[in-house]
Amino acid sequence: MNQKELFWISLTVFFTIVAWMILDIYLVKTKTTVKSGFESMQKVDFTIKPDILKILKEKNP
């Protein structure tokens, strides 16, 4: 292998790595990690049920 071939191989590898890094940075910036909309929200029911209170009173001496 002469100098010219080694130069072109090195240049190709260098540009491949640079393109790979740019693509990875772009994909990280455009990727969303939070679910959008109301899918991530859940409705919570805070009602007190008297049945459960009775059970808890019976278990507590």
Please check whether residue 42 lies inside any domain of the structure: no
Confidence at 13, pLDDT banded by 50, 70, 90: very high
Please check whether residue 44 lies inside any domain of the structure: no
Please check whether residue 49 lies inside any domain of the structure: no
Q: How many domains does the chain have?
A: 1
Please check whether residue 21 lies inside any domain of the structure: yes
Q: Does the reported pTM lie above 0.75? A: no
Please check whether residue 45 lies inside any domain of the structure: no
Confidence at 3, pLDDT banded by 50, 70, 90: very high
Q: Which helix (H) or strand (E) holds 17?
A: helix 3-30
Please check whether residue 38 lies inside any domain of the structure: no
Cα–Cα distance for residue pair 2/18, rounded to 1 Å: 25
Is residue 34 within 8 A of residue 40, CB to CB? The reply is: yes
* Residues 7-32, mean pLDDT to the nearest whole number: 94
Please check whether residue 2 lies inside any domain of the structure: yes
Which tens digits make up the pLDDT trace of 16-28? 999 999 999 999 8
Please check whether residue 40 lies inside any domain of the structure: no
Sign (positive/negative) of CA torsion 53, 56, 60, 61? positive
